[in-house]
Amino acid sequence: MAIPTDTCYGLAANAVDERAVAKVFRVKSRPLSKPVSIFVDSIERIRELFVVDELSERSLRLLPGRVTLILRLREGISFPEGVMARDRKVGVRLSPHPLPGLVVRAFGKPITATSANRSGAPPLYDAHEVARELPAIDLIVDAGSLPRRPVSTVIDLTCTPPRVLREGAVPLHRIARVLGLEVQH
């Protein structure tokens, strides 16, 4: 299903179901070697699923926000290929837009958090564009045209110092201030 998010339209599927995740990759024509992130509904859920050290805890002050945090899963927790990297890293988002959190709460599980577009193409901000470009989507929550906003900033917190893998909506100086250290790019 495609839903409006804080950045663009996104593809939302059951992030713990291998078939659902595989369909997201088919729809996007994206290789499984490029994992997609997940949406969760709370900071508490992040603490339940991921190893949260002192630095990661400080990064949670950026949430909800237009950031994707790369964190390592706790032992005993796993996600399908395409969400979880081989080294047990997963990108996680807590969106300031209400819909992803509502879907996660209603569903009771994390959902995929990837832009509704073909892999390598620009994000889509209009429901009609999504329908035209991705006809295999089962459902589109039509919020019309969304404001054109930058994609999320992606921060890998599993390395020292943390690395910004993609600059986006949240500027580097804000990330450095919240984390209390210099961030690699």
Order of strands across the sheet that contains 9-11: 2-4, 9-11, 111-115, 37-39, 89-93, 67-72, 153-156, 163-166
Where would I find the H helices in 13-136?
A: 18-28, 43-49, 54-59, 98-107, 127-133
Confidence category of residue 74, pLDDT binned at 50, 70, 90: very high
User: In terms of residue numbers, what domain contains 21?
Assistant: 2-179
Identify whether 158 is part of a domain: yes
Identify whether 185 is part of a domain: no
| pLDDT at site 182 | 72
Average pLDDT over residues 17-23: 97
pLDDT at 184 over 80: no
Identify whether 111 is part of a domain: yes
- The tally of CA atoms less than 13 A away on the side-chain side of residue 108 is 0
Identify whether 184 is part of a domain: no
Per DSSP, 32 falls in state T
User: What is the CATH classification number for the domain harbouring 81?
Assistant: 3.90.870.10
Identify whether 24 is part of a domain: yes
Per-residue pLDDT tens for 103-140?
Answer: 999 999 999 999 999 999 999 999 999 999 999 999 99
Instruction: Write down the number of H helices and E strands in the chain.
Output: 6, 8
Average pLDDT over residues 42-49: 98
Per DSSP, 176 falls in state H
This prediction's pTM: 0.95
Identify whether 99 is part of a domain: yes
Per DSSP, 147 falls in state P
